[in-house]
Amino acid sequence: MKFVDEFRSSDYSKLLVETLQNSSRDKINIMEVCGTHTMAIFRYGIRDVLPGNVTLISGPGCPVCVTPQSYIDNALDLSSREDVIIATFGDMMKVPGRKSSLLKKKAEGSDIRLVYSPMDCLTIAVDNPSKQIVFLAVGFETTAPMTAVTAIEARKNGLSNLFFFTAHKIVPPVMEALVTDKELNLDGFLLPGNVSAIIGTEPYEFLSKDFNIPGVVTGFEPVDILQGLSTLISLISKKDYSIANDYKRIVRTDGNSQAKEYMDKAFNIVDSNWRGIGKVPKSGLEFNRDFEEFDALKHFKISYEEYDGSSGCRCGEILKGKINPTQCPLFKQACTTENPIGSCMVSSEGTCAAYFRYYK
Amino acid sequence: MSTITLSHGSGGIQTNQLINDVFFKYFSNDILNQMNDAAHLAIDFKKLAFTTDSFVVNPLFFKGGNIGKLAVCGTVNDLAVSGAKPLYLTCAFIIEEGFAMDDLKIIVKTMAEEAENSGVKIVAGDTKVVEKGNVDGVYINTSGIGVIYEKVNINCANAKLGDVIIVNGTIGDHGMTILCERNNFGFEGDLSSDCASLNTLVGCMLEVYNGIRVIRDATRGGVAAVLNEISDSSNVSIVLEENLLPIKEEVKGAAEMLGFDPLYIANEGKLCAFVPEAQAEQVLLAMRTHPLGRNAAIIGRVTNEMGKKVYLNTIVGGKRLVDRPSGILLPRIC
Amino acid sequence: MCLAVPGRVLSIEGKMGIIEVGSIKRKVFLHLVPEVSVDDYVLMHAGCAIQMIDEVEAKITLDILKELAESEVCR
């Protein structure tokens, strides 16, 4: 597969590992913000090949993990309606609400459909004119533009039975919340490559200017991750607090202007609650007045009361990188991938789920 | 009649018609044609292998096969990987009222062809018809009996340090095909189930070396499930090499898009064999001469390191755990 | 949060296209990459092309690695 195989080269990977082994000996704490990075790091066993002075900490970049439990409960309520078809990404299916999950409701007869893409909702809406389709629109800046595009296409095709229950969040504000937390001791960030494809590198400049913390925009293949780590360690050891881009084949400095235009067209930026973390100002996206007709909460007149649902587990500290999953008393005991208690175990790329599957 | 009705299952004229016109027509053999309540079999006093399996796949028809083919191959394979020559199968159908007769005929015809292909006879059967909505089209159970080859000792608990692990071809083909067809992900490509009877391949392997220690077919849960079971039963560590895993381009592409790991995806025509290192090369070469073993490959070995689990040496030079599969496979965008 | 794969654009019709990823074809939204042409490579996330792949930049990265590999051999 072109642009995949070359960046999975074993030879290049091993070369970069050698470079890393010969790099700085200082104790370094690096946070990988993005859950997809967490999974890739485990998948390729990258922790094994890092020098002992480098610690990788997983961050809150897992949209399912940080979505409050109230979201799922409201989705489950909607799924009970005879006239509603819920369309969702696979990621949400096992997330436990207070009493049930989408997977369980599906088994009980609710019309809940797995989609690969939000565009598939357009087909479901056309094929089921008497039903109301509700798409569970979760995800960061990588995913939000296509919610906007799907809504615009629905409008273009005169579809009046497609709605979105949105929970989109944006990444830079939560990073600001992290770096202002005095308990965290981070030397640098591995920055989310595909979010950056949309937003560019400029939104991270505050890390450099205001906090003297460098970051490297990094891709997801092993060569990308090792390259990104190598660049970041080099910046840290030289006390160079820049934001660098090691994913130039995808990420432009100003990101994807067309995608940003679609997001500006459809959404307002609002304060948002991140499960386990709390309220983060200006970190969420909601449909604006022009796109109100697509908002499921407004359409179904749901008065949405948010609650976290994080009882007993230490997901909040895990999401902030303060502890790792093995330090949570529930990990692998009461809390497993089949019976998740906390949000980090629920998501396919949650930190706890990654540790559960891969930690030796 | 173009559809199955409840009277086809009621034991009367319609049942007889169904049995004669469909099942006996395709499954005909000297034992079945005696129409006794049980098949009378003559097997010399030998060690027997005996197994059963039920098949409830959705969709019933998919690229590379259908539920009928699975029902024959699945049970033949359970016997084959036990080191037995499969001889006889039974099959029981539970059919939904309203099921299309033509579809039933296709399924039964496929089963007859696969049985012939595998050298087994279907010697007893049963049919039930249930009200609409009580099954998804049709469910099939097959049981099978075979004679264990002499001097062969294949057991899940036999794996030993130094054994080499061989698969007979590309992994994840069946499960990926089913997942994509069932969920209508809009993927188009040469995805096809690998559903096949492995008994002649196993026969060929045992002929070359009858000391093969473990053979298991890697069905639900993929290669990861089977290797974890063997690691547990034999109390050994297993290490796989990521760069040696044979995976079709299409399965790789679909897996990348959906966020799946081919090690965890079901197969229906793949086995894992544990062979002592000294004999591995000759077994591998023999497999590659067989149509179902052209892409046979060594994928790992039994080691004495770390915990008694399954690990993967990654292309980066790191190591990761290949844990038991858990729950159903769901695609992800994160 | 970013599972995405590179694929080659096989055909374009308005703002929709067909992309090929490892021999699998799929329909894709092209709204976010208006400058795309057939045979271009794009990064696809959940059925939407989110960015064009800059083949020149990809080559630069790989060339640097190739050079590094060659200098290792010469050591």
Q: Touching C: which chains, 3+ CB pairs < 8 A?
A: A, B
Residues in chain B: 334
Closest by alpha carbon to B77, among B217, B211, B175, B200? B217
Per-residue tokens: A343: 């949000």
Question: Any chain A CB within 8 A of the CB of B136?
Answer: no
Question: Any chain A CB within 8 A of the CB of B252?
Answer: yes
Residue A123 pLDDT: 96
* Residue found under tokens 């547990």: B232
Cβ distance C45 to A146 less than 8 Å, yes or no, reads yes
Question: Any chain C CB within 8 A of the CB of A304?
Answer: no
Question: Any chain A CB within 8 A of the CB of C24?
Answer: no
Mind listing the domains of chain A with CATH numbers?
1-324 (3.40.50.11740), 325-358 (no CATH)
Cβ distance B189 to C46 less than 8 Å, yes or no, reads no
Query: B129 pairs with which residues across the strands?
Result: B95
Per-residue tokens: B151: 């001097």
Residues in chain B closer than 8 A to A42 (CB atoms): 320
Map residue B167 onto helix, strand or coil: strand
Residues in chain C closer than 8 A to B250 (CB atoms): 22-24
The CATH number, out of the four listed (3.30.1330.30, 3.40.50.10320, 3.30.70.2190, 3.30.1330.10), of the domain defined by the range B6-148: 3.30.1330.10
Considering only alpha carbons, which residue of chain C is nearest residue A226? C65
Cα dihedral C23→C29→C32→C35 (10° resolution): 70
Over the Cα atoms of chain C, what is R_g?
Answer: 16
Q: How far is A223 from chain C (nearest CA, A)?
A: 9
Residues 282-341 of A with CB under 8 A from B: 336-338
Q: Where are the domains of chain B?
A: 6-148, 164-321
Cβ distance B318 to A46 less than 8 Å, yes or no, reads yes
Pairwise CA distance, residues B308 & B169, whole Å? 26
Q: How far is C49 from chain A (nearest CA, A)?
A: 9
| DSSP letter string, A151-182 | HHHHHHTT--SEEEEEEEB-HHHHHHHHHT-T
* Phi, psi angle pair for A133, to nearest 5°: -95, 130
- Give the domain C5-74 fold: SH3 type barrels. (2.30.30)
Question: Any chain C CB within 8 A of the CB of A296?
Answer: no
Q: How far is B184 from chain A (nearest CA, A)?
A: 8
Confidence of residue C75 (pLDDT cuts 50, 70, 90): low
Question: pLDDT in tens for each of the 360 residues of chain A?
Answer: 999 999 999 999 999 999 998 887 889 999 999 999 999 999 999 999 999 999 999 888 889 888 899 999 999 999 999 999 999 999 899 888 888 999 999 999 999 999 999 999 999 999 999 999 999 999 999 999 999 999 999 999 999 999 999 999 999 999 999 999 888 889 999 999 999 999 999 999 999 999 999 999 999 999 999 999 999 999 999 999 999 999 999 999 999 999 999 999 999 999 999 988 889 999 999 999 999 999 999 999 999 888 887 667 788 788 777 888 998 988 988 888 878 887 788 777 788 888 888 877
Average pLDDT over residues C44-67: 95
Q: Are A134 and A78 in contact (CB under 8 A)?
A: yes
Average pLDDT over residues C55-75: 87
Q: Are B26 and B111 in contact (CB under 8 A)?
A: yes
Cβ distance C69 to A11 less than 8 Å, yes or no, reads yes
Of B187, B254, B333, the CB nearest to C46: B333
Map residue B227 onto helix, strand or coil: helix
* Phi, psi angle pair for A4, to nearest 5°: -115, -55
Question: Any chain C CB within 8 A of the CB of A14?
Answer: no
Pairwise CA distance, residues A51 & A53, whole Å? 6
Average pLDDT over residues C48-69: 94
Closest by alpha carbon to B242, among A179, A43, A159, C53? A43
Cβ distance B315 to A44 less than 8 Å, yes or no, reads yes
- Give the domain B164-321 fold: Phosphoribosyl-aminoimidazole Synthetase; Chain A, domain 2 (3.90.650)
Cβ distance A91 to B243 less than 8 Å, yes or no, reads no
Q: Touching A: which chains, 3+ CB pairs < 8 A?
A: B, C
Map residue B38 onto helix, strand or coil: coil
Pairwise CA distance, residues B267 & B290, whole Å? 18
Compute the C-alpha angle A99/A348/A275, nearest 5°: 55
Of B191, B253, B259, the CB nearest to C3: B259
Question: Any chain B CB within 8 A of the CB of A89?
Answer: yes
Tell me the pLDDT tens digit for each residue of A62-74.
898 888 999 999 9
Pairwise CA distance, residues A268 & A287, whole Å? 6
Of A4, A146, A251, the CB nearest to C5: A4
Identity (one letter) of the amino acid at B129? Answer: V
- The whole-model pTM stands at 0.92
A-interface mutation test, from B182, B184, B316, B330, most A Cβ less than 10 A away = B316
pLDDT along chain B (334 residues), means of 10: 85 86 91 80 82 93 96 97 95 96 97 97 95 94 94 92 97 95 88 96 96 95 95 95 96 94 96 97 98 98 87 93 84 82
